[in-house]
Chains A and B, each alone.
Chain A
């Protein structure tokens, strides 16, 4: 193993980008960006959505070609024609969307395409399983190499993906928001593992939205904004405030603009709701109130929203909105009575990606814009442009495909979809997941505004700071049931974590 020298400048970069420029029709994605990754360093790459991080990764991984500029690996200029070329240069990208084959075993996935062979092209299964077991062991992963990957939890799959990087002797590992689906424990394990890679001299590019992680794991950080390189610096010596300012390009004063809203009459009353893993759930939401639902992954906070809205099965219990009973399992009934649901998966069950911004906004209220089902497109355009202004959605036009918008703006489009219906209450499941800091602040501001207008909001989150910052009342869930309730001001990070994570034996009493 190579010794890591003290003097950074003496190390020659594993990867270097010089003046990289990339344009898409209508957008300059990267504007002469420089970047260098040293051996044995964890280099955080941050920026708001749409800043150019993913384009950089895709160029590094060979998916895109730069229009101008050059890229060097180990000091040699490279021109990747595809991901295969990048892999050949020992570059491994671990994407958020994992590219494992669910039906194959862990071992088969880890060594996919490079199985140890016995003569005559036969796979040496013994060696395959032994090698995999050894790798998993190094990672501290207690997984049977013969388990089909599809049966693993997302977090474990992610670690398998990283084991694959090891098996390929990757020299450069790119991790794209690797912790977005991991529990605290799993994050710790991942970090231990990253340290091990570091010791071997592997360079790691770490893309994240979570600033605290940067301080825990990264040596240097590069900030990009609007396709331009803003700064590269040692992490030590920067404050989170610096990072945010660099990313957003301006001072971000108030992340949680929380106004005091007088609690109105009871709006939603869910009584003894069970089904889809939700266990005897009671919830009351008042007009103008933001109720936060907090829980760790798997606690069922997002399922609550689906059950209330009728998108997941409600086996028993009643849901009443503004005095009217909502039929179980019927989203259209819930909608008719004034409820809206923003799901936690923008792309898979929210947006219609190939459709325009306008058409995505009007999708849940088409009948408003139609006369005997004949659409009045001028009316649609007018309504959509009102909402683009009101929510400050940044889009070149209403006809832009929603796919091409940044995550924060996509989320605003979905909020507009529901606000157009003029609902009485909205359920927002992790509305800021995968969104940059600037957009998060805007989403919070919009939520606050909605509450001021008298909407009732239920807001699910796995991130404590935002729950503490924006909710009037916080319910903590564990295993499909509510285990604690706090008023704003009464709740603290420690109390929430404790309530959410208490071991089962002491928790069942609730």
Chain B
């Protein structure tokens, strides 16, 4: 064959990064799931601010964020778990179970710290059992925690007929949910502060530590992670325990808000949490998800629910709206990913 048929071996030019300097701020914003959610939230807030004079008041935003905190705090734990390719369906029943038990403990010993310790301890125990059954027996976490969800709900029902009241009117207690950590210049309620602290801790752990890096690797490719010396079961156990502990803390904030531990608390909570985490960019296939994404998704859903109430619609619409938003967001994200050639 003759040489002239051979193309010259010139290198193909590779434009340096298609989303580079030429891209507008908007394009860059929409290049990530977090950016998408942020844009979504801005739209919703603009709409609600225009429609309701109450929405942007300090008080309403405080209430909104406090409610968001309940879901987000558990959601942060769940984000780790979903990155590790596992899931925990028992966090909803934890709200009832921990609530009932912690309130009984409070009534017995009258110290706020006792209640918190009980909530954390129960989280550690439940999380360890979830991890043990999943990892040692090789049952999928979906099934293990589904069973755990029923068991804990049953335990909550058996221990009390309806609710355990705050008998001793522990005044420090109500402040956990309703009190303000900061009054000046703006009032910041305790749950928001708690959420913010965990937000920072979890974000840093995921982004900056060997644990976080190993977790993403383990979620994307467990085999490769194990062969690189990552202790898969140890990491997963930590994720299970952390998720349950965070659920316990959410439960504690919830009983503070209700001022009682109720056996029917947290119905559907697990799906709100998991829905938010998925909306925030995580995947049931593991390896993906960020704390910022989870927070923004929780904030978006919380804002919509707040808006529905403010505008006087039937609050039961909240359920359907949450579902629709998740579908819409996932749909938009799939388009975004196709556009950016992300797998």
Contact surface of A with B, Cβ cutoff 8 Å: 24-28, 31, 225-233, 237-238, 242, 246, 249-250, 309, 311, 331-332, 335, 341, 343, 348-355, 359, 363-364, 366-367, 370, 373-375, 377, 396, 403, 417
Main secondary structure of the interface of A (DSSP, over half): mixed
Pick the residue among B12, B19, B211, B221 that contacts A352 (CB under 8 A).
B221
| Alpha-carbon separation in the docked complex, A309 to B7 (Å) | 46
Q: Which of A237, A353, A396 contacts B16 (CB 8 A)?
A: A396
Residues of chain A contacted by B316 (CB below 8 angstroms): none
> Residues of B contacting A24 with CB < 8 Å?
341
Chain A residues closer than 8 Å to B6, beta-carbon distance: 230-231, 246
**A349-B210 CB under 8 A given contacts A25-B340, A238-B1, A343-B227:** no
Asked if B227 and A366 make an inter-chain contact with CB atoms under 8 angstroms apart, the answer reads no
* Shortest beta-carbon distance from B15 to chain A in Å: 6
In the complex, the answer to whether B221 meets A351 with C-beta atoms within 8 Å is yes
Across chains A and B, which 9 residue pairs bring their CB atoms closest together, nearest first? A349-B223, A25-B18, A249-B9, A364-B228, A233-B1, A366-B210, A332-B229, A373-B210, A335-B229
Question: Can you spell out 19 A-B residue pairs with CB atoms less than 8 angstroms apart?
Answer: A27-B14, A28-B13, A225-B7, A226-B12, A228-B12, A231-B5, A233-B1, A343-B227, A349-B221, A352-B216, A353-B221, A354-B343, A355-B216, A355-B220, A363-B213, A364-B228, A367-B210, A373-B209, A373-B210
Asked if residues A370 and B209 are in contact (CB atoms below 8 Å), the reply is yes
Tell me the chain B residues, 207-231 only, with Cβ under 8 Å from chain A. 208-211, 213-214, 216-217, 220-221, 223-231
Whole-angstrom CA separation of A26 from B10 in the bound complex: 17
- Whether B16 and A26, one on each chain, are in contact in the complex, defined by CB atoms closer than 8 angstroms, is yes
> Is A31 within 8 A of B12, CB to CB?
yes
Closest beta carbon of chain A to B335's beta carbon, Å: 16
Output the nearest chain A residue to B15 by Cβ-Cβ distance.
A26
| Closest residue on chain A to residue B209 by CB atoms | A373
B226 touches A242 (CB 8 A): no
In the complex, what residues of A have CB within 8 A of residue B343's CB?
353-354, 403
Closest chain-B Cβ to A217's Cβ sits at a distance in Å of 19
Chain B residues whose C-beta falls within 8 Å of the C-beta of A403 in the assembled complex = 343
- Mark out the residues of chain B between 2 and 36 whose CB falls within 8 Å of any chain A CB in the assembled complex: 5-7, 9-19
In contact, A348 and B223 (Cβ under 8 angstroms)? yes
Name the CB-closest residue of A to B220: A352
- Interface 1/0 per residue, B187-214 and A, CB below 8 Å: 0000000000000000000001111011
Give the residues in chain B near A31, CB-CB below 8 Å: 12
- Cβ B229 vs Cβ A331 within 8 A: yes
**Once the chains are docked, how many angstroms separate the CA of A396 from the CA of B14?**
8
Q: What is the bound-complex CA distance between A26 and B14, given in angstroms?
A: 5
B287 interfacial by beta-carbon distance below 8 Å: yes
Instruction: Specify which of B213, B227, B340 lies most central, judged by the most chain A CB atoms within 10 Å of its CB.
Output: B227
Query: Closest CB of chain A to B324's CB: distance in Å?
Result: 28
